Structure 1
Amino acid sequence: MSQLQDNFGRRFHYLRMSVTDVCNFKCGYCLPDGYRPNGKQSFMTLSEIEQLVGAFAEVGTQKIRITGGEPTLRKDFTDIVRAVAANEQVKTIATTTNGYRLQQNAQEWYDAGLRRINVSVDSLDPRMFYQITGENKFDSVMRGIDAALEAGFERVKINAVLLKDLNDKDLPRFLHWIKSTPIDLRFIELMQTGLGEEYFNTHHLAGADIQARLQAEGWQLDQSDVDDGPARNFSHPDYQGRIGLIMPYSPNFCSTCNRLRVSANGKLHLCLFTEQGLDLRDLLQSPAQRPELVERLHAQLRLKKETHFLHQGFTGVTQHLASIGG
């Protein structure tokens, strides 16, 4: 069948696949009270993941990001990477991690087929890192980033959520770091979720403010790449690293949407914010179900909305970002 496409002409070649909603950090913008299971969890098995990847590859998915929670808490994480890498139609395999297990496992994951890695580092001040994440793991995470660079990853990105009155003073420190370090630094504008209204009102910082500051200091907007999605990427001739801004409240943010999400319990989410999700798990039990699964994907894409409605204060059913992988 043809590539997944919605009624607005957007094509979807990127899948964010959550494998667990468990996380061992307590970030204030996501899980301030730590992970609290909602009943007995039953996450997709390795076999179900293989069926899911096969179906998405058949409809044009070329990039798969393994997400969580903290995806590397799965004991079979390396096996999941191998399973995705075994599908030759998937060109890029990535993950997003808090870096907790990165130092010890970077080379093993690379050898299994992982090629891109995003590490969440919300501050380069160890005390602020602890305040935001609830974990005193700054030095360990930074050693993990060094291990990823040494392992040969094609691209190492650092994710930092912009937080007013917390890490907003860290920009000079971040810039100093990427002057001689070839990483991509991603600043992500804080998004409101169902459980985070008060936190959002206190700490939201407009990404446009950071963009204006960067451009005033000589950073230039790069031409968009097909893999960039909604990120606006900036480079500077004096810096080895790049900066990307993800600004969900900016005009036309959704016009370049190229990604879909599947939660750890096998539900398809057309948007991070707008709907309950459609169960796919009943069609992940056998390769013989592939045609029906592919048809279900195409049918759901015809229902995708044009935008996320965050501007109207509508956050959908997403209680916290760990629930469907951010």
Structure 2
Amino acid sequence: MPELIDGYGRKIVKLRVSITDRCPLRCIYCNSEGISFLPREKILKLEEIIKIVKIFSRLGIKKIRITGGEPLSRKGLESLIEGIHKIGGIEDIGLTTNGQELERKAEELKKAGLNRINVSLDTLDPEKYRIITGGGILEKTLNGIREAVRAGLRPLKINAVIIRGINDDEIENLASFSLKNDFYIRFIEFMTYNFITHNGEESNRLKQRALLNTEIKDILKNTLARAIRVENRGHEELFLFNNGKAGIGFISPESAPFCSSCNKLRLTSWGELLECLYAENGLNLRDLLRNETDEEMIKNEIVNFVKAKCYSKYGRYNLNMKSIGG
């Protein structure tokens, strides 16, 4: 089987697939103000996504992560997961969600073939949650997490972004909540790109208030002293607890970039293949499919695209994180 290896020798084994540019929330760290959604005909159809994943599976991709927007808002999600699950070579299917609709969908997602789930949760305070998400209801996400656990979607990971003056007083509580329930929590640094938040604050000002993971690790130093640190995780610094059933991770694109170990590609909901969140140019797979391009030719286009993958982030600092999937 051919493999996807870029010009720096990095083997690509993961594909993040955004299936919608829509999300009902307006989180302060997402570019959600003034967005106009794409016409539906420009968004990849579910069968097109399955075709693309099938092509990537023949190029050595083994892990798929479904993102949005908010992927649970896409009709037919269960059938999409079922279709991907049937593709030979795909070993793991994950999904990242805000959790607002997870309670009623978790069991069906598991039955369709979903293996694991990541839930965005930046606070355990209902009012802060409403402010951070632009109107979200904390209890809905907590109920969704409980239902995901009941359905067997493990390991369950919590994604948290910490902003000074908003939720920086909850770092220890979030960690304790996760460890007590045998979850993994990952503290993710706010990424540099330009937009206006839903409450009118410029992202560059918000970034100045965002905590780096070096600060968070210092706050959690007593807790981390009890953990087993995992070596060579590439994109994530991980500390294990409870015999490996729980963990605290740090994803640090600003203070400790992990470009040298990058092993993933991104597919936008409109069918553009991106080598990096910050890449200026992508490969339009949607048009190749709709023009009935031969599969071998598409594979060659992908292989050549990956060979030109950049070594580190550059270029596009006004990307729409909400529609691209983070």
TM-score above 0.5 = yes
Question: How many Å separate the matches in 2 of 1:239 and 1:223?
Answer: 10
Q: Count how many residue pairs are aligned between Structure 1 and Structure 2.
A: 319
Change (3 A) 1:181 1:32: same
Match of 1:27 in 2: 27
Alignment of 1:245-264 (within 5 A): 245-264=250-269
Give the aligned residue type for 2:80: I
1:19-49 per-position Cα deviation (integer Å, ceiling 9, x unaligned): 1110100101104537532566621112211
Match of 1:67 in 2: 67
Question: How many Å separate the matches in 1 of 2:148 and 2:317?
Answer: 35
Contact kept, 8 Å, 2:158 with 2:186, in 1: the verdict is: yes
Change (3 A) 1:239 1:9: closer
Question: How many Å separate the matches in 1 of 2:103 and 2:229?
Answer: 31
Change (3 A) 1:251 1:186: closer
1:162-219 per-position Cα deviation (integer Å, ceiling 9, x unaligned): 2121111111211221232111111100002231533433422111111233334315
Contact kept, 8 Å, 1:189 with 1:246, in 2: the verdict is: yes
Question: 24-33 or 233-242: which moved more?
Answer: 233-242
Matched, 1:10 2:10: yes
RMSD (CA atoms): 2.2
Match of 1:210 in 2: 216
Change (3 A) 1:112 1:34: farther
Secondary structure of the residue aligned to 2:99 is coil
Question: How many Å separate the matches in 2 of 1:56 and 1:238?
Answer: 35
Contact kept, 8 Å, 2:44 with 2:269, in 1: the verdict is: yes
- Give the deviation of 1:231 after TM superposition: 1.2
Match of 1:325 in 2: 325
Question: 152-161 or 261-270: which moved more?
Answer: 152-161
Match of 2:50 in 1: 50
Match of 1:222 in 2: 229
Question: How many Å separate the matches in 1 of 2:243 and 2:303?
Answer: 46
Contact kept, 8 Å, 1:163 with 1:204, in 2: the verdict is: yes
Displaced runs of 4 or more, over 4 A = 38-41, 237-240, 285-288
Matched, 1:117 2:132: no
Q: So what's the TM-score if we normalise by structure 1?
A: 0.91
Match of 2:199 in 1: none
Give the aligned residue type for 2:109: W
Match of 1:232 in 2: 237
Question: 209-218 or 292-301: which moved more?
Answer: 209-218
Change (3 A) 1:128 1:7: same
Question: 199-208 or 267-276: which moved more?
Answer: 199-208
Gaps of 5+ in 2: 197-202
Task: State percent identity of aligned pairs.
Answer: 33
Give the aligned residue type for 1:190: F
Question: How many Å separate the matches in 2 of 1:128 and 1:32?
Answer: 18
Question: How many Å separate the matches in 1 of 2:216 and 2:275?
Answer: 29
Question: How many Å separate the matches in 2 of 1:11 and 1:90?
Answer: 16
Alignment of 1:246-285 (within 5 A): 246-285=251-290
- Give the deviation of 1:70 after TM superposition: 0.4
- Give the deviation of 1:240 after TM superposition: 5.4
Secondary structure of the residue aligned to 1:284 is helix
Question: How many Å separate the matches in 2 of 1:139 and 1:232?
Answer: 30
Secondary structure of the residue aligned to 1:222 is strand
Give the aligned residue type for 1:204: A
Secondary structure of the residue aligned to 2:230 is coil
Question: How many Å separate the matches in 2 of 1:239 and 1:2?
Answer: 34
Secondary structure of the residue aligned to 2:42 is coil
Secondary structure of the residue aligned to 1:149 is helix
1:129-182 per-position Cα deviation (integer Å, ceiling 9, x unaligned): 111001241001100000000001131111111212111111121122123211
Question: 284-293 or 108-117: which moved more?
Answer: 284-293
Question: How many Å separate the matches in 2 of 1:163 and 1:221?
Answer: 27
Gaps of 5+ in 1: none
1:43-82 per-position Cα deviation (integer Å, ceiling 9, x unaligned): 1112211110111101111000011000111111111111
Contact kept, 8 Å, 1:23 with 1:68, in 2: the verdict is: yes
Question: How many Å separate the matches in 2 of 1:297 and 1:24?
Answer: 33
Q: So what's the TM-score if we normalise by structure 2?
A: 0.91
- Give the deviation of 1:267 after TM superposition: 0.3
Secondary structure of the residue aligned to 2:90 is coil
- Give the deviation of 1:239 after TM superposition: 9.2
Contact kept, 8 Å, 2:190 with 2:207, in 1: the verdict is: no
